[in-house]
Structure 1
């Protein structure tokens, strides 16, 4: 099967699965678990590039989730200031998406700062991941702008991103996990073919 077909199949499978669940309390732990499995598999298979990609995504996504789950945003958000509420809630998501986008754009350079391995290189998948998180950054920016327009200008009809925010995030998560699963499959095939050539 061609790599492009494999990526599409993996992404479609994960997307359908996430959208069927459509419950943040299920999808978020599942997403983080898949990121964890990919990271562990990459470490086990000694694929440093995959380990760093999956690890960066897991750490930054996990940190974002911890901030919301711990109630930190709710504790510092003033009840009487809707603009500040919006900035803190949607701005935090935007900040994490932007950080992750930059980390993935400069992933090879960051990996070389962390590790002395000579196997660190740009992979075909590096060109996919930063686009996924550019999409996430745009979605987070748009929902922030939409919410600001709603609060400041009372634009009640302009809520498309806000109303579909979870689904738009699930699409990005599905793209991310589908691409990581494809990386794992390609890595397993590569290891299998290397073993076969040794035999």
Structure 2
């Protein structure tokens, strides 16, 4: 499948690589080692700020996916797909959630607005909505790509 449609490969690859960068950063506890646990403002700012930066990088990579794909591949089949217009919006949504979480963390820890926990209380659900839509779009992209490539042998016009 990945050999047949270079566009699908690049979209999925860019999303995978930029998502995979999160795991070594957060699973290793790197942020907890860098910031003292008693400084919740700094710790929350680094956590949400890192996620925001990675999400914004993903937005720009997906917006300029065709140009980046042409830089790294010599294939003549690289072109915009219908799905190129979807994925960056999903990451803009995620970036907005990260930004709101960052601002809420600043309000909560610096300005002592302890009642501001709307994003914090619903953070996982809000991010999972974006992930579910992204996974669904990836699946739909792969299905539509195989459907359009599998039946191009001969088209009948009805005059035969």
TM range (shorter): over 0.9
Matches within 5 A, 1:166-185: 166-185=124-143
Rounded to whole Å, the distance in 2 between the matches of 1:98 and 1:71 is 22
Larger helix share, 1 or 2: 1
TM-score where L is the length of structure 2: 0.92
State the match for 1:111 in structure 2: 69
Show structure 1 runs of 4+ deviating over 3 A: none
The unaligned stretches of length 5 or more in structure 2 are 156-160
Rounded to whole Å, the distance in 2 between the matches of 1:163 and 1:56 is 30
Number of aligned residues: 156
> Is it true that 1:188 corresponds to 2:143 in the alignment?
no
Q: From the CA coordinates, give the structure whose radius of gyration is larger.
A: 2
- Shift in Å at residue 79 of structure 1? 2.0
State the match for 1:92 in structure 2: 50
8 Å Cα contact 2:44/2:105 also seen in 1: yes
- Shift in Å at residue 91 of structure 1? 0.8
> Is it true that 1:71 corresponds to 2:36 in the alignment?
no
> Is it true that 1:134 corresponds to 2:73 in the alignment?
no
2:112 aligns with one of 133, 154, 162: 154
- Shift in Å at residue 196 of structure 1? 5.5
- Shift in Å at residue 88 of structure 1? 1.2
Rounded to whole Å, the distance in 1 between the matches of 2:135 and 2:18 is 15
The unaligned stretches of length 5 or more in structure 1 are 1-40
Rounded to whole Å, the distance in 1 between the matches of 2:40 and 2:115 is 18
- How far does the alpha carbon of each residue in 1:123-172 deviate from its partner, in whole angstroms, 9 at most, with x for none? 11000000000000000000010011001111122111111100111111
Rounded to whole Å, the distance in 1 between the matches of 2:135 and 2:40 is 34
State the match for 1:49 in structure 2: 7
1:82 aligns with one of 40, 53, 59: 40
Q: Larger RCO: Structure 1 or Structure 2 (Cα < 8 Å, ≥ 6 residues apart)?
A: 1
8 Å Cα contact 2:49/2:102 also seen in 1: yes
- How far does the alpha carbon of each residue in 1:40-71 deviate from its partner, in whole angstroms, 9 at most, with x for none? x4x24x21111110000000101112211111
| Structure 1 vs Structure 2 CA RMSD | 1.5
Rounded to whole Å, the distance in 2 between the matches of 1:79 and 1:196 is 65
